[in-house]
């Protein structure tokens, strides 16, 4: 069960990272409302992705 949760959080964080990269580059989902918030959320999504991957590898 915990491996499934690790993979789910990894997939979700990568999807969010792609959304915020698209918003930074082309302004597709949020029309570049706040560049600073895009950068912060992108960094947070990447941190969660790395933590999920490292936890998945430990199990």
Confidence (pLDDT) at 37: 95
Confidence (pLDDT) at 30: 84
Per-position b or e across 9-29, b if 16+ CB within 10 A of its CB:
bbeebbebbebbeebeeeeee
Confidence (pLDDT) at 36: 95
Report the distance separating Cα 38 and Cα 32, nearest Å. 8
Please provide the distance, in angstroms rounded to a whole number, between the alpha carbons at the two ends of the chain.
11
11-25 residue pLDDT tens: 999 999 999 999 999
Q: Find, among 38, 14, 15, the residue nearest to 26 by Cα.
A: 38
pTM: 0.88
**What backbone phi and psi angles, to 5 degrees, belong to 30?**
-120, 5
Confidence (pLDDT) at 28: 86
Q: Which residues of the chain have pLDDT under 50?
A: none
Confidence (pLDDT) at 58: 93
């Amino acid at each position: 069960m915990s491996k499934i949760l690790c993979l789910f959080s990894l997939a979700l964080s990568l999807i969010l990272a792609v959304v915020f990269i698209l918003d930074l580059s082309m302004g597709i989902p949020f029309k570049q409302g706040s560049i600073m918030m895009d950068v912060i959320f992108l960094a947070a999504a990447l941190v969660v992705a790395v933590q999920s991957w490292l936890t998945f590898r430990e199990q």
